[in-house]
RNA sequence: GGCGCGGUAGCUCAGCUGGUCAGAGCGUAUGAUUCAUAAUCAUAAGGUCGGGAGUUCAAGUCUCCCCCGCGCUACCA
């Protein structure tokens, strides 16, 4: 194992609250891992923070009529508070709007520039002439080409979730002024990712970089490596690391052409991990550098699957391009959590919000954590249901775990006034692990030791569900131990047996009080209190317990006095579940009520009328009537149809993006309007000799412009 | 269209490099038990491992084709 650990969780974006999908994806697994490492006496730092830049925040601010600062302050507080209440034990929860972060990322940028890692390139981007500025993807809205949502953003349609680029939008318009943007050249710095492709491929697939074995690929999840190779095989392209924005980290001012340029959020956000570490070190008066630069540090990024490429390819490339930094030893990305059969959605309010959960179900933090871990999407998408939450809480936490703790403590109070009895270690009894096995105290302590080690191994391999299962096996074995030996029956006839069984049962409970800490930190604290043991400080207590057990020593010594027994968990009543389900149904209904109203044809969005042109300009267009003779789908393209159009004097091959609006067989014979003197363009290997003119309705649906009664082919449209 | 990851008992999910891999938890059924919040313990389910073909002495586990879900990506003058 490495000497020290640096663990990061994806920086939450500060334009909305935290939901259970975030928790299950990147925060809970990291928290378990970190708490475990601390209990094992490891040097570990766990950093996170709010990602507070990027256009989505400024767009939201504009919509709500407030400043970006107000937005990020608001959500930073909500998110930080939610983390704290649900027990995510960051060493620091930083924010990317801090000056320290700005300095850190600017220094990074300078260094990359100095190392020749950038290429400054000019490209055409949408520019808002009214507002006088370039428009980032999020500043452009238009009709989604996929689902016809009239308010899709330039990078993504929030309605159907499609990833878009601004040029794909139909009728693009600026959110700043509402006007139609124009294309203008602008210059940006591109990271030469293509030059990093080879070493990344080797590093991902063999774990080797610069001839050194840095990690074991077999330890990485399939879907992580698969996704990376998918990207690598398509060839990495230079990627712009700057944007034209007014909110974010400035491109350092001394660099020419830096005016009005900000660092791309995806560059600035992961550097946030570094800034957070620096701030943590400053607060402690220690050196941050070993955590990022020493080969004996294990860097681990916990993220959701949507961040894989960034954390496994682009950020490592950036770290290497800078030089001097270590690379992540693993990126255990989780898949997605669904809620009651549907994808979590912030915009549709289909979520369980963490800040609402802790307010509505106070004192049940661990119940949520337990359920999240039990259904953690480690290898594939998984599902959270309130019914499942209730069931596992009531049967596994209340029945099995809390029940075991309570019964063994009650029995101790009844028989020995709550004091751990001394035992005769040679006494034999039935093992809780197997009804047919006769065992001894020492053998059972060894078995417990073995189970705890096994649990630890699962955590070390990021198998948190399995680790939790093993934890619960200890509780089940404790229940079985009591069941098989029935101490309540033999208190009078065989007091020595009762002592051994209860003492051992209490050792299980004591072991659980430490071992459950990574998963159920609040309950672990409560249990320590019940057992009258010192509060956990997350400093090698599990390691100490393991060492004692390995020596054959019990964790609780004879004559130790317990506090009164209490239940660790309470049942979740039906009403609570019903109320939560009701809440989700209300959200669903609210969506259904607004949803049908929108596509209803009324909501036509009008693009502003373009600049005036002269008649001569118009006369340059040669528009003709024509008839479709043949139509077929273009291979390997979802939207293209290959058409043969008769213009009377000749036949043309025209490729048109209408496959999602028309079936090929249905349009043969249709009369259409053709722009006949458009320069030919090759699409998907087919040369298109013209363009079919189409009209668009409010939903973005395209239809041909055709005559009512027919006309000859090749006629001019004037 | 391409690529990636999945599609295993009613439900939620494990099954690494092919040969006790047909599993766990929950639910359900039966029995035991009463120390414990009707909690606990034991036993049971007969799921053709999405469908089809193939390789092999042997395939959820490898190859090919098809279907479905999720994610990434391309085309749209």
In tens, the pLDDT along A409-450 reads 999 999 999 999 999 999 999 999 887 889 999 999 999 999
Contact A169, A145 (CB under 8 A): yes
- Between CA A391 and C1' B9 the distance (Å) reads 19
- Whether A629 CB is under 7 Å from strand B: no
Residue range(s) of every CATH 2.40.50.140 domain in chain A: 615-704
Give residue A599's pLDDT: 34
Residues 159-178 of A with CB under 7 A from strand B: 161, 163, 165, 168
Give me the mean pLDDT over the A594-602 stretch: 38
Beta strands in A426-577 (DSSP E): 428-430, 438-440
Between A422 and A306, name the one with better pLDDT.
A422
Give me the mean pLDDT over the A290-313 stretch: 92
Which CA distances in Å does A677 have to A353, A651, A685, A689, A692? 56, 14, 20, 8, 12
Between A94 and A178, name the one with better pLDDT.
A94
- Whether A217 CB is under 7 Å from strand B: no
Domain A117-244 belongs in CATH node 2.170.220.10? yes
Q: Which fold has domain A390-550?
A: Isoleucyl-tRNA Synthetase; Domain 1 (1.10.730)
Burial label, A332 (beta-carbon count in 10 A; 0-12, 13-18, 19+): buried
Give residue A677's pLDDT: 84
In tens, the pLDDT along A636-646 reads 676 778 888 88
- Whether A457 CB is under 7 Å from strand B: no
Please state the ipTM of this predicted complex.
Answer: 0.89
In tens, the pLDDT along A41-73 reads 999 999 999 999 987 788 788 778 899 999 999
Residue range(s) of every CATH 1.10.730.10 domain in chain A: 390-550
In tens, the pLDDT along A490-533 reads 988 899 999 999 999 999 999 999 999 999 999 999 999 999 99
Give residue A600's pLDDT: 33
- For residue A383, name the pLDDT band (cuts at 50, 70, 90): confident
- For helices A521-531 and A403-416, angle between their N-to-C axes, nearest 10 degrees: 10
A279: pLDDT strictly greater than 90: yes
Give me the mean pLDDT over the A136-159 stretch: 67
Give the closest residue to A471 by CA, choosing from A430, A504, A520: A520
Q: Which fold has domain A4-107+263-337?
A: Rossmann fold (3.40.50)
Give residue A602's pLDDT: 33
A598: pLDDT strictly greater than 50: no
In tens, the pLDDT along A237-252 reads 888 898 888 889 999 9
DSSP letter, residue A193: G
Contact A236, A228 (CB under 8 A): no
Superfamily of structural domain A615-704 = Nucleic acid-binding proteins (2.40.50.140)
Give residue A179's pLDDT: 78
SS3 A201: helix
- Whether A402 CB is under 7 Å from strand B: yes
- For residue A614, name the pLDDT band (cuts at 50, 70, 90): confident
In tens, the pLDDT along A207-243 reads 889 989 898 887 888 888 888 888 887 788 888 898 8
Residues 539-558 of A with CB under 7 A from strand B: none
- Whether A227 CB is under 7 Å from strand B: yes
Give residue A158's pLDDT: 57
Residue range(s) of every CATH 2.170.220.10 domain in chain A: 117-244
């Amino acid at each position: 194992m490495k000497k020290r650990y640096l663990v990061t969780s994806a920086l939450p974006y500060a334009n909305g609250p935290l939901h259970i999908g975030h928790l299950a994806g990147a925060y809970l697994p990291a928290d378990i891992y970190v708490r475990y490492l601390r209990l094992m006496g490891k040097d570990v730092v766990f950093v996170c923070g709010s990602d507070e830049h990027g256009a989505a925040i400024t767009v939201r601010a504009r919509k709500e009529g407030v400043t970006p600062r107000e937005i990020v302050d608001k959500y930073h507080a909500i998110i930080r508070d939610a983390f704290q209440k649900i027990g995510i034990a960051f060493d620091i929860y930083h924010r990317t709007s801090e000056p320290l972060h700005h300095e850190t990322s600017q220094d990074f940028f300078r260094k990359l520039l100095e190392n020749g890692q950038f290429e400054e390139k000019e490209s055409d981007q949408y520019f808002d002439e009214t507002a006088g500025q370039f428009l980032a993807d999020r500043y452009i809205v238009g009709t989604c080409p996929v689902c016809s949502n009239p308010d899709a953003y330039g990078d993504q349609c929030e309605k159907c979730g499609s990833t878009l680029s601004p040029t794909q939008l139909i009728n693009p318009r600026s959110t700043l002024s509402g006007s139609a943007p124009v294309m203008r050249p602008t210059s940006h710095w591109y990271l030469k990712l293509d030059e990093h492709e080879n070493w990344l491929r080797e590093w991902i697939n063999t774990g080797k970089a610069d001839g050194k074995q840095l990690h074991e690929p077999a330890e990485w999840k399939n879907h992580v490596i698969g996704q990376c190779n998918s990207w690598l095989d398509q060839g990495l392209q230079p990627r712009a690391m700057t944007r034209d924005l007014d909110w974010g980290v400035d491109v350092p001012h001394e660099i020419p052409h830096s005016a009005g340029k900000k660092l791309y959020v995806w560059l600035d956000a992961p550097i946030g991990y570094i800034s957070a570490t620096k701030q943590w070190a400053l607060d402690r008066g220690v050196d941050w550098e070993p955590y990022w630069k020493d080969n004996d540090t294990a860097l681990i990024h916990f993220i959701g699957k949507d961040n894989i490429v960034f954390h496994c390819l682009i950020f490592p490339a950036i770290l290497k391009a800078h030089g001097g930094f270590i690379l992540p030893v693993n990126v255990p990305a989780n898949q997605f959590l669904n809620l009651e059969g549907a994808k979590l959605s912030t915009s549709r309010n289909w979520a369980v919000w963490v800040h609402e959960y802790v307010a509505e179900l106070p004192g049940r933090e661990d119940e949520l954590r337990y359920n999240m871990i039990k259904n953690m999407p480690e290898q594939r998408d998984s599902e959270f249901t309130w019914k499942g939450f209730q069931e596992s809480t009531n049967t596994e936490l209340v029945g099995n775990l809390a029940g075991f703790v309570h019964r063994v403590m009650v029995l101790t109070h009844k028989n020995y006034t709550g004091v751990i009895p001394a035992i005769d270690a040679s006494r034999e009894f039935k093992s809780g692990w197997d009804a047919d096995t006769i065992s001894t105290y020492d053998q059972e302590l060894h078995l417990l030791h073995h189970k705890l080690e096994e649990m630890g191994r699962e955590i070390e391999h990021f198998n948190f569900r399995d680790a939790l299962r093993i934890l619960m096996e200890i509780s089940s074995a404790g229940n079985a131990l009591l069941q098989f030996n029935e101490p309540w029956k033999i208190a009078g006839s065989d007091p020595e047996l009762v002592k051994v069984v209860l003492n051992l049962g209490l050792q299980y409970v004591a072991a659980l009080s430490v071992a459950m800490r990574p998963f159920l930190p609040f309950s672990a604290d409560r249990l320590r209190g019940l057992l009258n043991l010192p509060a956990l400080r997350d400093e090698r207590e599990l390691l100490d317990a393991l060492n004692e057990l390995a020596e054959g020593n019990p964790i609780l010594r004879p004559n130790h006095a317990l506090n009164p027994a209490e239940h660790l968990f309470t049942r979740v009543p039906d009403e609570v579940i019903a109320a939560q389900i009701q809440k989700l149904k209300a959200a669903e209904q609210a969506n259904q009520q607004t949803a049908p109203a929108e596509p209803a044809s009324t909501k036509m969005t009008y693009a502003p009328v373009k600049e005036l042109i002269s008649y001569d300009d118009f006369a340059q267009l040669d528009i003709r009537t024509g008839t479709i003779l043949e139509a077929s789908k273009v291979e390997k393209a979802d939207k293209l149809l290959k058409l043969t159009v008769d213009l009377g004097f000749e036949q043309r091959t025209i490729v048109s993006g209408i496959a999602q609006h028309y079936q090929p067989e249905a349009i043969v014979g249709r009369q259409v309007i053709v722009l006949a003197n458009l320069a030919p363009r090759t699409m998907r290997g087919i040369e298109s000799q013209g363009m079919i003119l189409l009209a668009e309705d409010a939903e973005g649906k395209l239809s041909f412009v055709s005559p009512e009664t027919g006309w000859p082919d090749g006629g001019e449209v004037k």
